Structure 1
Amino acid sequence: MTAQRDAVLDADTITGRLARDLPAWHLEDGWIKRTYKTGSWKGTLMVINTVGHLAEAAWHHPDLTASYAWVEVRLTTHSAKGVTEKDLALARKIEEVVGWQPGLEGGALEGTPTDPRFAYIKYDK
């Protein structure tokens, strides 16, 4: 199974999978990339820590670039010298967790208040 996870995917496969499963991500220079916009430095740190936890748990580590109100996540499999299933799987998990909005689910968790004092991430939707 390791060989299949580490097989480099061709550009058409990657762009097709991103369009279908991860529309906010794009392929550029051998990486899949996504920028998360945040409300402040606090939000930026929360995104970085979330990505860090997921990456460590997966044992697959992205490159991150950050500023006051954004975080760019870049994934490639260095050992394979290209984008593999590992990158797509970790991107999906990052997207799922960072983009989670419990207030939209109608369950017991209400989600972050809409008051700008509490905003920490700028959701796409």
Structure 2
Amino acid sequence: MSKRAVMLAAIVSVILSAGPGVAKDKEYKWGAIAVDLEKPDQDPYYGIGGGNTEDEAKESSLQFCRDAGGKACKPVVAYQECGAYAASRKNGGWGINTTQKTAEAKALSGCDDDSCKIVVSDCN
């Protein structure tokens, strides 16, 4: 199973475990993205997590990153609205904002490499 399929399955599992009619933004105050940057020559493993505190969200994102196959996962961004992570083979950058589009633009700007692309983005 690809790492993207594992990540999608993990996200669906979290959403389904919340119960019917429970929206993510009502359940979690914080979101976080963790990334395994150990092998910069390949697409990174990552996890998106949520929690009522920043620490809970970071821990959740670490677990999802590990579940996706990451061995050296580290939280790269925590957010209360939207967060994004961009990377190239050389650099990485993150962004937070009230909109996903602006968070992604900030991540690309922070990456500071013309070959950067959005790896993952999320909004609460």
TM-score norm. by structure 2 comes to 0.29
Structure number, greater radius of gyration: 1
Greater fraction strand = 2
- Answer 1 or 2: higher relative contact order, Cα 8 Å, separation at least 6: 1
